[in-house]
Structure 1
Amino acid sequence: MKKMNKIFLYASMLILTSGIAAVPTVAKADINYGLTSVGTAIVTTKDSAQLYNDSGQPLGRYLPAGSEWKTSLENTLDSGSYYGVGADEFLKSSDVDFESLDGQATYSEGQTSAANYDGIEVTSAAGAPLYDESGNPLGRSLPEGSDWKVDLQDNNAKGTFYRVATNEYVSAVDVRPYQNSPVYSESKVVTTPSGNPTRLYDEHGQLITDRALAANTSWYTDQFTDIGGIGFYRVATNEYVIASEVD
């Protein structure tokens, strides 16, 4: 029998314990910076390209050099930017050339528009060191907790960087990009599918790693929001599920 929950927080989030070790949340040590829609696009592998899961872990499988794959999703981690090409299968942006089919600019490794984001928040307790466009440190840092507008995202061999001023960049390791997402009132019940637990995300689309929703359970939602072009339902205070992953 499905359990119906119509209040937030109380008994709402289940810790993963059955065969899966719970991963503790560490403040200011974010590993997932959010899933972002990139519309309809194609990525072409430069060489034989490793596949990764949504946490940036290698899957031990490769796609052949010069092969083309449809993508609509970008996943930004501390290890760089990735494009989804299958169910929990991602290619690193530095391993591919990207071509939008929605009339946007075509680009390969290097600078791209950061239009998906409204800004970045510095999450590193030590602050965010500034780098030049070649990834060389400038000897200055932005303070923890400060917010900055960005206009460019730079994916290169050293990782993912965001431009905050002329020839001044911060590393994705030290910040969290965010979007001022539209919010719509909602009043309905959503149900998780059978099989694996349904993952939870925060208000920035950032993966919550220490809990999830059990399969075949129902949850009340009061809010729908668009984060990076992806729809989310709120099921608890600052805890969301991807709309397409629930019924």
Structure 2
Amino acid sequence: MKRFTQGLLFSSLLALSVGATAISGAATAKADDNYYGYTALATSVVTVRDTGAQIYNAYGIPTGKYLPMNSRWQTNLENTLYDGSYYGIGADEYVKASDVRYEMKAGFSGYGVQSPGNYDGVVVTSDYGAALYDAAGSPIGKNLPDGSIWKIDQINNVASGTYYRVGLGEYVSATDVRLYEAGFFKAISGVVTTGPGNPTPLYDVNGQLITDRALAPNTKWYTDEFSSTGGTGYLRVATDEYVVAADVYETLK
């Protein structure tokens, strides 16, 4: 296995004014054991297996609708729940990874295996760490610690779900990790001002939406870093908290 190390950021909040706003009713990734979060995918296709595929909502609850076997559907979103990965195929409509064959638009090499594309690694998000599996999805008796970051070189989709290869014959389940996309980082010094109206969303270092808080409208925040992940520019306003550059007004010193 090859571990991907990443420098940890400072821990103090960088606010110039009090403005963090809780989002009412939003679920945090670790507060709800059934919900882990979304990962944006390159435009891809899922093909329903011979058994057909039930459609679920974002929380894994059956909707009572089904997709016919061998039908093909476009997806660009992976939803990771406690029982595995789901792929978005419509507004609040998802299919289980185990019910479909996943193909990236580029890099697909057949039999459910494809290159990781722009993704560089995974971050272990499970409180209990991440079990390791072989290429068939069977446990091999090893584990990765919670919070650790690992390089990947392959995405493997088998009947039990989606797995990422972190070493020779060693895979982690998408249930236990979040994809990490390597990006560009640059130290800066400046102030960002949020716009009027709705709160400004916050994201973590991997570009994942932080669901339980946001920045209040018309507030100023110190920023010390610009990063680009997946073609989107981010400005850091606190430890592992970023805003999309296009969502704020930036003044560099």
Question: 2:23 matched to 1:16?
Answer: yes
Change (3 A) 1:64 1:138: closer
For 2:22, the aligned partner's letter is: I
Is the contact made by 1:80 and 1:155 (CA closer than 8 Å) also made in structure 2?
no
Give the C-alpha shift of residue 50 in structure 1.
Answer: 0.8
Question: 2:52 matched to 1:50?
Answer: no
Q: TM-score w.r.t. structure 1 length?
A: 0.67
Instruction: Structure 1 unaligned segments of length 5 or more: list them.
Output: 1-6
Give the C-alpha shift of residue 178 in structure 1.
Answer: 1.6
Change (3 A) 1:162 1:44: closer
Give the C-alpha shift of residue 187 in structure 1.
Answer: 7.2
1-structure distance, mates of 2:55, 2:113: 22
Write out per-residue CA displacement over residues 108-162 of structure 1, whole angstroms, 9 at most, x where no aligned residue.
Answer: 6x33322332223344454433222222222233344443222122233433322
2-structure distance, mates of 1:26, 1:80: 16
For 1:104, the aligned partner's letter is: G
For 1:236, the aligned partner's letter is: V
Is the contact made by 2:98 and 2:160 (CA closer than 8 Å) also made in structure 1?
no
Give the C-alpha shift of residue 169 in structure 1.
Answer: 1.7
1-structure distance, mates of 2:109, 2:194: 38
2-structure distance, mates of 1:51, 1:164: 29
Is the contact made by 1:73 and 1:84 (CA closer than 8 Å) also made in structure 2?
yes
2-structure distance, mates of 1:145, 1:127: 8
Give the C-alpha shift of residue 202 in structure 1.
Answer: 1.0
Change (3 A) 1:93 1:136: closer
1-structure distance, mates of 2:233, 2:95: 24
CA RMSD of aligned residues (A): 4.0
Write out per-residue CA displacement over residues 14-59 of structure 1, whole angstroms, 9 at most, x where no aligned residue.
Answer: 1133xx2x546649x7953552331x33334332431332xx4336
Change (3 A) 1:143 1:187: closer
| Alignment size in residue pairs | 227
Is the contact made by 1:81 and 1:155 (CA closer than 8 Å) also made in structure 2?
no
Give the C-alpha shift of residue 231 in structure 1.
Answer: 2.2
Structure 2 residue matching 1:91: 3-state secondary structure: strand
Change (3 A) 1:87 1:124: closer
1-structure distance, mates of 2:66, 2:195: 35
For 1:116, the aligned partner's letter is: N
Pairing of 1:42-191 with structure 2 (within 5 A): 42-46=45-49, 47-53=52-58, 56-58=59-61, 60=63, 62-65=65-68, 66-101=70-105, 103-105=106-108, 107=110, 110-124=112-126, 126-183=128-185, 191=195
Is the contact made by 1:148 and 1:164 (CA closer than 8 Å) also made in structure 2?
yes
Change (3 A) 1:82 1:193: farther
Give the C-alpha shift of residue 212 in structure 1.
Answer: 3.7
- Percent of aligned pairs sharing the same letter: 40
Change (3 A) 1:92 1:116: farther
Correspondence for 2:4: none
Moved more, 233-242 or 113-122: 233-242
Instruction: Structure 2 unaligned segments of length 5 or more: list them.
Output: 1-13
Change (3 A) 1:198 1:124: same
Q: TM-score w.r.t. structure 2 length?
A: 0.66
Is the contact made by 1:162 and 1:169 (CA closer than 8 Å) also made in structure 2?
yes
Change (3 A) 1:97 1:206: same
Give the C-alpha shift of residue 61 in structure 1.
Answer: 5.0
